[in-house]
Amino acid sequence: MTDGSTPREPRGIQSIEVGGQLLLALAHQGRPMALKDLARNAGMTPAKAHPYLVSFIKLGLVEQDGGSGPYGLGPLALQLGLISLQQYDPVRLATPVIEELARQLGHTVAIAVWGTRGPTIVRVAEGPTPVHISMRHGTVMSLAGTASGRLFSAWRMADAAALGEPLPDDATLEAVRQAGLATSRDSVLPGISAAAAPVFDAANHLALTITAIGPSANFDTALDGTLAQTLRQAALSLSRKLGH
């Protein structure tokens, strides 16, 4: 608009938005629900919710167990979910996340995926503090010596073992799985530390890792520290978007 006023949002169909709250409630709970519980979670009465559910059943968005039991997501909803997952590119989805993390943490943050030669850097978001270590696109990370490598070794053991290079010991791998995070301090280069969090897809496979790297002097590798918690939360959010 040219008069300086705030443009109005496009007008939607209110009944669809209201009924959509039922679908959101089912998706959020992740299990079939009785009518009264479903209606309460959607912020409406059972009498108001029922006609929406009848229409959703006809479309296949909702199904009812036995015709009188609890309501759950129907075959069309499941099909739409699968199509949505197929359209997600994990790296594309994670790229803006690492850019925000680099600003938030003040360290360089990278995405690594499993390549033919092992954990491979595919995206890098530079932090304000320069890191004198190779973090270019295509850089292959050591399985035993890097945070990303330890994550892939922990959750893709067969792939890692097939490379024929040294792996972290069993105690390290179990500690990584328990912590949901891997760290390294001064292992690749003196004065450089890293922490990496795993991102899983709908099939519970390790899709990629998010790795923060920076000077050891001001890099917090504590498993319960702010940096670790921030990485874990970002990785968990991405995993959920990928259907994990």
Residue 163 phi/psi, 5° resolution? -75, -20
At position 78, the amino acid (one-letter code) is: L
CA distance 64 to 159: 42
Last residue of a domain, one of 86, 112, 135: 86
Q: Are residues 32 and 114 in the same domain?
A: no
Q: What are phi and psi of 198, to 5 degrees?
A: -90, 145
Same domain for 93 and 53: no
Q: Return the CATH number at 126.
A: 3.30.450.40
Instruction: State yes or no: pLDDT of 1 exceeds 70.
Output: no
Q: How many Cβ atoms sit within 10 Å of the Cβ of residue 142?
A: 17
Token pair 């039991």 is found at 69
Residues 169, 56 share a domain = no
- For the stretch 152-172, pLDDT in tens is 999 999 999 999 999 999 999
- Are 146 and 49 in a shared domain? no
Number of domains making up the chain: 2
Q: Are residues 119 and 229 in the same domain?
A: yes
Instruction: Kindly write down the DSSP assignment for every residue of the chain, as one continuous string.
Output: --SSPPPPPPP--HHHHHHHHHHHHHHHH-S-B-HHHHHHHTTS-HHHHHHHHHHHHHHTSEEEGGGTS-EEE-HHHHHHHHHHHHH--HHHHHHHHHHHHHHHHSSEEEEEEEETTEEEEEEEE--SS---S---TTPBPPTTTSHHHHHHHHH-HHHHHHTTS----HHHHHHHHHHT-EEEESSSSTTEEEEEEEEE-TTS-EEEEEEEEEEGGG----TTSHHHHHHHHHHHHHHHHTT-
User: What is residue 2's predicted lDDT score, i.e. its pLDDT?
Assistant: 45
Q: pLDDT, tens digit, for every residue of 48-75?
A: 999 999 999 999 999 998 878 899 999 9
The answer on 92 and 147 residing in a single domain is yes
User: In the block, which residue shows the tokens 């690492």?
Assistant: 98
Mean pLDDT, the chain, as a whole number? 89
The answer to whether position 6 is within a domain reads: no
Q: Which residues, other chains included, contact 80 with Cβ-Cβ below 8 Å and sequence gap of 6+?
A: none
Residues 188 and 123 in one domain: yes
Q: Say yes or no: 40 and 122 in one domain.
A: no
Radius of gyration of the CA atoms of the chain, in A: 23
108-140 residue pLDDT tens: 999 999 988 899 998 999 887 666 665 677 888
Task: Determine the Cα angle at 142 with ends 140 and 144, to 5°.
Answer: 160
98 and 33 both lie in a single domain: no
Same domain for 222 and 109, yes or no, is: yes
Whether residue 200 is found in the same domain as residue 110: yes
> 95 falls in which pLDDT band (50, 70, 90)?
very high
Q: 101 and 75, same structural domain?
A: no
* Count of C-beta atoms within a 10 Å radius of residue 119: 30
